[in-house]
């Protein structure tokens, strides 16, 4: 069902585009509607004569397909798909410098405060050469999605919250969320930055399932900042490129986010708070980005007081997930196919959010959705209550670029922790070598603590052991031997606050 939804996402998202497949078939929304209608007919035939449990499961998939068809029909009616193709990217302005955007003190629920939004636009105008060009660029900016946003959730939990915006050198506008202090108003002048994982968002740091890390750090006196990664639900903005119409918007991998976005965010936080260093926590891709940043820009190490990696995905040759291993094996053909059909965005929340959330909330849906997560990230039903799956699916997946996904798959296939693989000829042109260069972890000198599990199917313990051995300043590690802990349980597990988050606070207290 997950694969069905991914294919559906591509078809719907690229529905305003005409393209030819290798077989010469002209695909568009009308064709997609026909394909899924046939799938529904097939499901109805399968349902005949099956047992009760199988019938319930297949019926859930049938509901998914029917919802898909309705979504396609709605978009088909609203779009004249036979006219035009993919729009060419807008002309990119000169390289933008990071500007200190005003904090959003007066945010109304679910929307950006008008004054803060106006100041954001003024900041963009300041770094462009002519007002006429800026006026056209302003129209590409997207409002935040409807409530609840991370700031809404933080306030609902009883904590103060702020929204900030950072313009990175290539022009991406990133959303930052801040909790300046805890409920007890204790302040230690320590500043923490939390970076979420792949297709995730700030939500994973501020959910209310019994002890989110952001709240624990805030109550311990930290000024807590959380960044939404480039291209996700809350950072789907750019000064010149429209994510809905300009493919160039999605031409990045997590390497670009590591060497362009993270330094801009860290510099912004340091300038805004006056601190002399950041306490960094990264989960999954958040750790990946940290290692790529400090290995590529060693000068950033001096701006990090201490760093905690929770199940980072670096060397990934021992990944156990059957889904990810299958995709990694076919990474080459998959990349060519996605390029051929013009697919750029991976699991966008605006297309994906309603379908999984509705399916995962009824009947056997929570169990099926949990099984899908287990198939990708590892099995741990004792840690993750299946009843919260539908709530999580309201925010996740939060979207990413296809190129991010392909970067991970390439490293899983090769077993190397390396930059993006453009193929032999592309690598020669870009890197001067047949293979992409590996990140030198010996350049990561910031004090680091590793936390990973023995049952994680994405971030395998053997791969993390290698990271531990190569880091020159890895102070220690915790390996959770409990088979109940998998990749996502580090964020949503019932015992994560006591077994993991308290340990992070204790480690930070040493620096």
- pLDDT band per the 50, 70, 90 thresholds, residue 243: very high
The CA–CA distances, whole Å, from 440 to 292, 386, 418 equal 9, 40, 9
Domain total in the chain: 2
Q: 457: closest CA among 373, 337, 334, 366?
A: 373
Which residue, 32, 42, 39, 26, is CA-closest to 74?
Answer: 32
According to DSSP, the β-strands at 190-195 and 278-283 are parallel
Residue 70 lies in a domain: yes
Question: What is the rounded average pLDDT of the residues 68-97?
Answer: 42
Whether 258 contacts 289, CB under 8 Å: yes
- Point out which residues pair with 438 in neighbouring strands: 418
| Nearest partner of 378 among 473, 467, 485, 451, judged by Cα | 485
Average pLDDT on 148-167 reads 93
Looking at the structure, do residues 298 and 433 belong to the same domain, yes or no?
Answer: yes
Express each pLDDT in 284-324 by its tens digit.
999 999 999 999 999 999 999 999 999 999 999 999 888 78
The reply to whether 179 and 265 lie within a common domain is yes
Query: Looking at the predicted structure, is the pLDDT value of residue 130 above 90?
Result: no
Range of the domain at 457: 160-319+416-496
Q: Once rounded to an integer, what is the mean pLDDT over residues 73-99?
A: 39
The token duo for 229 is: 């990664």
Question: Is there a domain that residue 315 lies in?
Answer: yes
CATH number at residue 194: 3.40.50.1820
Percent pLDDT > 90 in the chain is 50
Active-site option among 284, 309, 401, 459 = 284
223: left (phi over 0), alpha (psi -120 to 50) or beta: beta
307 given a catalytic annotation = no
Claim to verify: residue 278 and residue 168 sit in the same structural domain? yes
What is the mean predicted confidence (pLDDT) over 220-239?
95
Do residues 195 and 70 both lie within one domain? no
The answer to whether residue 27 sits within a structural domain is: yes
Q: Which residue has the tokens 């993390």?
A: 464
- Which residue, 85, 105, 129, sits at the end of a domain? 85
Q: Which of 85, 118, 150 is the last residue of a domain?
A: 85
The residue annotated as part of the active site, out of 207, 238, 283, 487, is: 487
Is 349 marked active-site?
no
Q: Are 4 and 64 in contact (CB under 8 A)?
A: yes
With respect to residue 205, please indicate whether it lies within any of the assigned structural domains.
yes
* Distance (Å) of CA 24 to CA 184, 201, 299, 340, 344: 65, 39, 51, 12, 21
Residues 52 and 169 in one domain: no
Residue 209: pLDDT above 50?
yes
Which among 64, 85, 106 is the end of a domain?
A: 85
| Residue 20: pLDDT over 70 | no
How many residues in total does the chain contain?
A: 511
Determine how many CB atoms are found less than 10 A away from the CB of residue 250: 20
- Do 309 and 221 lie in one domain? The reply is yes
Tokens of 120: 């954001």
Angstrom distance (rounded) from CA 163 to CA 236:
15
- Same domain (yes/no): 296, 421: yes
**Residue 449 belongs to what H/E stretch?**
strand 448-453
Q: Are residues 255 and 164 in the same domain?
A: yes
Which residue in 268, 97, 246, 261 sits closest to 195, CA to CA?
261
Q: Which helix (H) or strand (E) holds 225?
A: strand 222-227
Q: Name, in order, each residue with C-beta under 8 angstroms of 122's C-beta and a sequence gap of 6 or more.
A: none
Average pLDDT on 207-214 reads 87
Residues 64 and 178 in one domain: no
Asked, for residue 334, whether it belongs to a domain, the answer is no
Report residue 415 as tokens: 């077993």
Answer yes or no: do 42 and 169 share one domain. no
pTM, entire model: 0.74
The backbone torsions φ and ψ at residue 269, rounded to the nearest 5 degrees and listed phi first, read -65, -45
**CA 487 to each of CA 201, 458, 480, 491: distance values in angstroms, whole numbers, following the listed order:** 15, 7, 11, 8
Residue range 134-163: mean pLDDT, rounded: 71
């Amino acid at each position: 069902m997950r694969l069905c939804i991914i294919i559906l996402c591509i078809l719907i998202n690229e529905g305003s585009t005409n393209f030819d497949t290798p077989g010469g078939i002209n695909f568009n929304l009308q064709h997609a509607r026909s394909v899924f209608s046939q799938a529904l007919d097939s499901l109805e035939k399968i349902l005949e004569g099956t047992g009760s449990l199988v019938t319930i499961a297949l019926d859930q998939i049938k509901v998914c397909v029917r919802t898909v068809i309705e979504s396609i029909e709605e978009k088909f009616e609203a779009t004249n798909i036979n006219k035009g193709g993919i729009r060419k990217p807008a002309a990119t302005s000169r390289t933008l410098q990071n500007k200190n955007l005003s904090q959003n003190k007066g945010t109304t629920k679910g929307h950006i405060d008008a004054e803060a939004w106006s100041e954001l636009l003024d900041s963009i105008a300041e770094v462009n050469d002519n007002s006429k060009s800026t006026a056209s660029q302003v129209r590409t900016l997207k409002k935040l999605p409807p409530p609840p946003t991370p700031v809404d959730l933080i306030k609902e939990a009883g904590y103060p919250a702020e929204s900030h915006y950072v313009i990175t050198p290539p022009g991406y506008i990133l959303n930052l969320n801040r909790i300046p202090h805890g409920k007890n108003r204790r302040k230690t002048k320590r500043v923490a930055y939390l970076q979420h994982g792949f297709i995730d968002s700030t939500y994973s740091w501020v959910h209310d399932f019994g002890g989110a890390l952001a709240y624990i750090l805030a109550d311990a006196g930290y000024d807590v900042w959380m960044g939404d990664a480039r291209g996700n639900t809350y950072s789907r903005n750019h000064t010149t490129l429209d994510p809905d119409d300009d493919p160039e918007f999605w031409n990045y991998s997590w390497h670009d986010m590591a060497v362009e976005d993270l330094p801009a965010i860290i510099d912004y936080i340091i300038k805004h708070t006056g601190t002399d260093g950041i306490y960094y926590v990264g989960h999954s891709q958040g750790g990946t980005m940290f290692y790529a940043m400090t290995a590529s820009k060693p000068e950033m190490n001096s701006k990090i007081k201490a760093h905690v990696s929770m199940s980072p995905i670096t060397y990934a040759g021992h990944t156990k997930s059957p889904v990810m291993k299958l995709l990694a094996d076919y990474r080459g053909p998959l990349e060519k196919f996605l390029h051929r059909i013009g697919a750029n965005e991976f699991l966008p929340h605006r297309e994906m959010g309603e379908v999984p959330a509705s399916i995962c909330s009824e009947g056997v849906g929570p169990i099926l959705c949990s099984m899908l997560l287990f198939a990708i990230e590892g099995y741990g039903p004792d840690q993750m209550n299946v009843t919260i799956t539908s709530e999580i699916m309201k925010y996740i997946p939060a979207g990413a670029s296809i190129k991010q996904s392909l970067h991970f798959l390439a490293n899983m296939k090769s077993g190397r922790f390396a930059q993006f693989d453009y193929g032999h000829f592309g690598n020669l042109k870009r890197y001067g070598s047949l293979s992409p260069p590996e990140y030198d972890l010996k350049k990561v000198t910031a004090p680091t603590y590793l936390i990973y599990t023995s049952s994680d199917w994405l971030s395998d313990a053997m791969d993390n052991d290698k990271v531990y051995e190569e880091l020159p300043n890895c102070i220690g590690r915790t390996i959770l031997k409990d088979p109940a802990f998998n990749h996502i349980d580090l964020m949503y597990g019932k015992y994560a606050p006591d077994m993991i988050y308290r340990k992070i606070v204790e480690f930070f207290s040493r620096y």
